[in-house]
Structure 1
């Protein structure tokens, strides 16, 4: 029987909780350490779609998520000047998304999903008020030291503690002393925007009739002559989520204090600046007044793709290794995708030996890095379209909503929806449409297959993924997880099952 490692997870955000609930499903011992003293219902709207919903369907959580969500329908982009709001463009691709992928893009309150994920994990697995001071590792294991004097030991340490990751900082300090840290990883995160977010208490549908609709409304407004843009989204419970973004100048980027938490600090000046800004059904001030002060928070939006995701027994997930702008709505999704692939790599471990753990964490990065890199780049570009105030960014915005052909948007959607990692230890959810799904690395442990050692390395390098024609069980064999016709492999090949 496979011996499981002990996994220490720092950070109880979307990525850390997703990893925890997946590890609990496969019987891997783990603990989560969160520096906050309790769960704070901060943040605003969140959207997820066909690149992560199949995983939630696979683990039996899709129905619960759908109950707390509304399907997205359309996005309307406006400009605001002294004359009021002017509609720049509108996208309505909800039917296309559902038809081509089998799933809707859904909107909900970010704290609602966080609460749901938290409810799926045994309470004794999560420790609050645990601020990390340092981490250590050796051939024998990892060591976690917290500010309250507590010390924890394990086999694997995962930094899921956000853009200002203490795990990353400690790991990088060690690598820098050993001259192993790439120069690019010594550069600070780039902060181009400040953002204020909030979620109202339930509102009267008679006052705001759009709350009666069975789908979510998404409005984006860009101010003319001011460095502001704002987003308003309707979510279940007759509530509005709003987010206001200010583009920072070079001086502000240098002088501003970068707050890494979604906390209710430093927001008075921002509220005063934006309260009179218009939305299609009133002003931002109306929504701000309908939001408890403790549920309004401010954060600086930063972006950076780190090159170093792992070293020995330590690995990073989510914002700790790829901080994205929220413009494309992919930050939390990519953190959860990290968790899926990392859980798969841990599941594949035959033993918690140092050698196998190092290999598993390297494998995790190799499977995820290119996908995360693309999303960092896309989020940056979309940020310029939605938030940008330079002449070039204004021109880009006009081009996207005036001249960009629908086929371009559809191609980007196919690329996004086609990558949908699922957990390796459960049956994959069937593809509901003809959408081309990117292949996922097969689980050797689940399929329990090995190939006769007489097969040459050259033979094993052949890729038969497109060779399936005859599905008669008597004529088909599985080789390294690929299906091939009997006529296409040497008769001397045979399969040996692992015990």
Structure 2
């Protein structure tokens, strides 16, 4: 492929066949799969390239609510999602003495915002999205070595000496990006347990508990799932010195190899099972398959540059949230919706300038929401810490009037985006959804029979 933008090229759409841009997605995480699912439904050609040689069922609990419900409904997977998830009525903030300090309640969200929130394990939601994409479109063992882009397209080269050509390159590989400084979470999921082993599992609603340490730079959590597993995690808060100790843990895949040492550090942390049993994280570690325990370094940052020419970023590749905030996956999906709408609206045979304009509009549509989510995520992180500001934040949240809570919720829950090219999902929330600029964008139409020609 000739990608040099200086090459003389007469771009006359009147003599070209109606060709949608081909999209190359690097990264088969939640962001990449969501975008692939949407492009598939829009009948836009795409391929997904994942550097891992196999799909690993890693990760812990994830929280999805009204902000993604419309997407799932439009794609025809909402009922299946509900079957996989467990309703969350509150996040319970507990101390090391296994006492409840206060709750962050979510009651009434179905009426206010059109849908409730649910806990679902990451492997379950990942598999649900993966099943929406033709198997032949997902390519494993494809580690990107280099890429070129220009006026005529993009070209990426892989470590196995293969290449791929397309019109648009989407970086959705944020989970593997180089890390500067961050919070190394340890996450895991038990095998299916009985209520005798973990009594909280007998409760209809998901029991989502966060534990605040007295004198440790850790916070940890547990959540029950509809599959009768317990998702758990522990987050180490780094300061300047401890960050240096973790410098070697960079650019690594989620996996059990890096987790053993951290398991040893957190094994005695107390948890609440819902019954008389006095359990610690060690009890959950012992009941978790080793391949489902992993450690990953994350950083908190919203990057300023999301696109260049024919290349654009989504998800963790352009914004990284603290996992304590529970908004990372939803915002990656929101990115995919906005970007899919913009790509779907591109003319046939788009030139580089038209593509870059679409990417600019995509970032402008998303940036305010991302920055709001980033601030909310930081607030949750602060609330879970041990600093003076953390204690003050917990006191404020504990004593906050209900009307103030609702005001903060609206900053996040009025963002309920939809795909412009799919039948609209009925939004039943009494609090209306915020305006979505890309929702009005339409796909190009072929006004007359196309004429195929060979361009030299």
Same fold (TM over 0.5): yes
Q: Give the C-alpha shift of residue 433 in structure 1.
A: 2.6
2:149 alignment counterpart? 137
2:225 alignment counterpart? 235
2:442 is equivalent to residue 445 of structure 1: yes
1:417 alignment counterpart? 413
Q: Report the Cα distance in structure 2 between the residues aligned to 1:433 and 1:400, rounded to whole angstroms.
A: 25
Q: Describe the SS at the equivalent of 2:347.
A: coil
Matches within 5 A, 1:29-428: 29-80=45-96, 84-94=97-107, 96-165=108-177, 189-191=180-182, 193-256=183-246, 257-259=248-250, 260-281=252-273, 282-354=279-351, 355-386=353-384, 388-401=385-398, 403-428=399-424
Q: Report the Cα distance in structure 2 between the residues aligned to 1:392 and 1:91, rounded to whole angstroms.
A: 18
Q: Report the Cα distance in structure 1 between the residues aligned to 2:186 and 2:441, rounded to whole angstroms.
A: 46
Question: C-alpha deviations, 1:76-102, integer Å up to 9, x for none?
Answer: 11121xxx23321123323x1112112
Structure (1 or 2) with the larger CA radius of gyration: 1
Which fold has the larger relative contact order, with Cα–Cα distance below 8 Å and residues 6 or more apart in sequence? Answer: 2
Q: State TM-score, norm by structure 1.
A: 0.81
Contact 2:315 2:331 in 1 (8 A): yes
Q: Describe the SS at the equivalent of 1:216.
A: coil
Distance change in 2, residues 1:105/1:37 (3 Å): same
- Where in structure 2 are there 5+ consecutive unaligned residues? 1-16, 274-278, 449-456
Distance change in 2, residues 1:276/1:347 (3 Å): same
Contact 2:51 2:144 in 1 (8 A): yes
- Where in structure 1 are there 5+ consecutive unaligned residues? 167-187, 449-496
2:33 is equivalent to residue 17 of structure 1: yes
Contact 2:89 2:205 in 1 (8 A): yes
Q: Describe the SS at the equivalent of 2:258.
A: coil
Q: Report the Cα distance in structure 1 between the residues aligned to 2:408 and 2:42, rounded to whole angstroms.
A: 34
Q: State TM-score, norm by structure 2.
A: 0.89
Distance change in 2, residues 1:291/1:132 (3 Å): same
Distance change in 2, residues 1:2/1:431 (3 Å): farther
Q: Give the C-alpha shift of residue 120 in structure 1.
A: 1.0
Q: Describe the SS at the equivalent of 2:297.
A: strand
RMSD: 1.9
Contact 1:189 1:303 in 2 (8 A): no
Contact 2:113 2:432 in 1 (8 A): no
2:429 is equivalent to residue 433 of structure 1: yes
Q: Report the Cα distance in structure 2 between the residues aligned to 1:59 and 1:353, rounded to whole angstroms.
A: 27
Question: C-alpha deviations, 1:152-191, integer Å up to 9, x for none?
Answer: 110000000015448xxxxxxxxxxxxxxxxxxxxx7441
Q: Describe the SS at the equivalent of 2:212.
A: strand
2:21 alignment counterpart? 5
Q: Report the Cα distance in structure 2 between the residues aligned to 1:417 and 1:350, rounded to whole angstroms.
A: 33
Number of corresponding residues? 423
Q: Give the C-alpha shift of residue 222 in structure 1.
A: 1.0
Q: Give the C-alpha shift of residue 2 in structure 1.
A: 4.6
Q: Give the C-alpha shift of residue 310 in structure 1.
A: 0.4
Question: C-alpha deviations, 1:335-394, integer Å up to 9, x for none?
Answer: 1110111110011011232232122111111111111121122111211112x1222222
Q: Report the Cα distance in structure 1 between the residues aligned to 2:106 and 2:213, rounded to whole angstroms.
A: 25
Contact 2:114 2:430 in 1 (8 A): no
Q: Report the Cα distance in structure 1 between the residues aligned to 2:228 and 2:382, rounded to whole angstroms.
A: 31
Contact 1:17 1:118 in 2 (8 A): yes
2:7 alignment counterpart? none
Q: Describe the SS at the equivalent of 2:100.
A: strand
Structure whose residues are more often strand by fraction: 1
Q: Report the Cα distance in structure 2 between the residues aligned to 1:316 and 1:205, rounded to whole angstroms.
A: 43
Q: Give the C-alpha shift of residue 214 in structure 1.
A: 1.9
Q: Give the C-alpha shift of residue 68 in structure 1.
A: 0.7
Q: Describe the SS at the equivalent of 1:422.
A: coil
